[in-house]
Amino acid sequence: MLPSPRTDALFYQLALTMIDGVGAKSALALMHYFGDAAAIFNASLKELKAVGGLGEHRARAIKNHDSFKLADQEMAFLQKHQVQALFLDHPQYPHRLKECADAPVLIYFKGAANLNAAKTVAVIGTRKNSEYGEKLTQDLVAGIKNQEGLLVISGLAHGIDGIAHRAALQEGIPTIGVVGHGLDMMYPPSHRSLAKDMVAQGGGLLTEFPSGTKLSPANFPVRNRLVAGISDVTVVVESDEKGGAMITAYMAASYNREVAAFPGRVGDAKSSGPIKLIRTQIASLIRNGDDLLEVMGWQPVKQKKPAQPQLFLALSDEEQQVVNALQAQEAVHADELMLQTGLPNSALAAILLQLEMQGIVKSLPGKRYRL
């Protein structure tokens, strides 16, 4: 029986997910049949058993449930800690995740990030990264930072995950940590400060586990599918062939999402996972952020070139010829300048030196010059 009448639909949604044996598929079937979660708890046993695929065991579990107390506790936790609980039909529920056949019916989110950002990139890898992997991660994030509507996602673990989150913060990109526990704790504990910074700087923390969930190794593969499910592309930086990052990559591929990986030295255990993904054509080989943008068909954000300053200096006719030739291109080789201006090599060299001394021309490696 229902307790005193409630008007908050979220309470009944929470209670529904806390009944043993009622998973995402059963919950969705019930919601489709009855229209809302409150009606499910008001239904008779006969009405519950009429729901296709539910069966008598689960129908009785719903009638004999004791989940209202748990739902009350969770509601109090959500309100106290400013955590959102997003049911599958919530407008802020990640639409990419909703496309996955095994999408959780309810997720918990703390933060301000847009879970439906225009471009979502998961950057993942081993907990025991090398310096090479650290630099690859930092350079990758820096290389894509100018993309509009970008969100960086990872698992908030030690190693590549933490490096990816910190790099995103450094570059001013919102970043989400997907965790394998409730939001009443933090694992690893050493990332508590990092997690606070992620929330404070427009990112957030995401999980499908309610508060009070005990930490368990079985939770992490569950966490990994959320990382894959909310991302347009999953990038594996470093991993052995059986690492958690590989599980995430395979899940991403099963969702028909893009997977990318950095090649490494043959024989290096930390590169064996990415090499396998590339060799088996699960992942595209990338070397940097530009490669990732190419794989995704995302155009690099073109930086506006500063307008060339108008030169009001009194220039000789020959100096003006050189300046005019340089204005037409970003950088010009000395031999090409000779052809365009018709000046002999010695005269051109003297003019270029004079213009460089006046701060009008800059010499570049390989006998090239620009304004």
Give the torsion sign (CA, 330, 336, 341, 343). Answer: positive
Is residue 291 domain-shared with residue 332, that is, in the same domain? no
Is residue 149 domain-shared with residue 219, that is, in the same domain? yes
Q: Which domain CATH number covers 340?
A: 1.10.10.10
Whole-model pTM? Answer: 0.77
**DSSP assignments along 224-288, one per residue:** HHHHHHT-SEEEE-S--TTSHHHHHHHHHHHTT-EEEE----TT-HHHHHHHHHHHTTSSEE-SS
Is residue 231 domain-shared with residue 125, that is, in the same domain? yes
Q: Which domain CATH number covers 237?
A: 3.40.50.450
Spatial distance between the Cα atoms of 153 and 166, rounded to a whole number of angstroms: 11
What pLDDT score does 234 carry? 98
What is the DSSP pairing of strand 362-364 with strand 284-285? unpaired
Is residue 340 domain-shared with residue 276, that is, in the same domain? no
Is residue 73 domain-shared with residue 11, that is, in the same domain? yes
Is residue 217 domain-shared with residue 324, that is, in the same domain? no
- 28, part of any domain: yes
Spatial distance between the Cα atoms of 70 and 253, rounded to a whole number of angstroms: 36
- 262, part of any domain: yes
Q: Which domain CATH number covers 61?
A: 1.10.150.20
What pLDDT score does 64 carry? 84
- 356, part of any domain: yes
- Please report, in tens digits, the pLDDT of each residue of the chain (371 residues total): 344 445 588 999 999 988 888 888 888 888 888 888 889 988 889 888 888 878 888 888 888 888 899 999 999 999 999 999 999 889 999 999 999 989 999 999 999 999 999 999 999 999 999 999 999 999 999 999 999 999 999 999 999 999 999 999 999 999 999 999 999 999 999 999 999 999 999 999 999 999 999 889 899 999 999 999 999 999 999 999 998 999 999 999 999 999 999 998 888 899 999 999 999 999 999 999 999 999 999 987 655 444 454 444 578 888 888 888 888 777 788 878 888 888 888 888 888 888 888 878 887 766 777 88
Structural domains in the chain (count): 3
Is residue 185 domain-shared with residue 274, that is, in the same domain? yes
Range of the structural domain that residue 366 is part of: 317-370
Is residue 152 domain-shared with residue 217, that is, in the same domain? yes
Is residue 229 domain-shared with residue 162, that is, in the same domain? yes
- 101, part of any domain: no
What pLDDT score does 1 carry? 35
Is residue 51 domain-shared with residue 158, that is, in the same domain? no
Is the Cβ–Cβ distance between 259 and 252 less than 8 Å? yes
- 307, part of any domain: no
Question: Which residues are bridge partners to 205 per DSSP?
Answer: 110, 177
What pLDDT score does 302 carry? 59
Is residue 249 domain-shared with residue 361, that is, in the same domain? no
Is residue 343 domain-shared with residue 202, that is, in the same domain? no
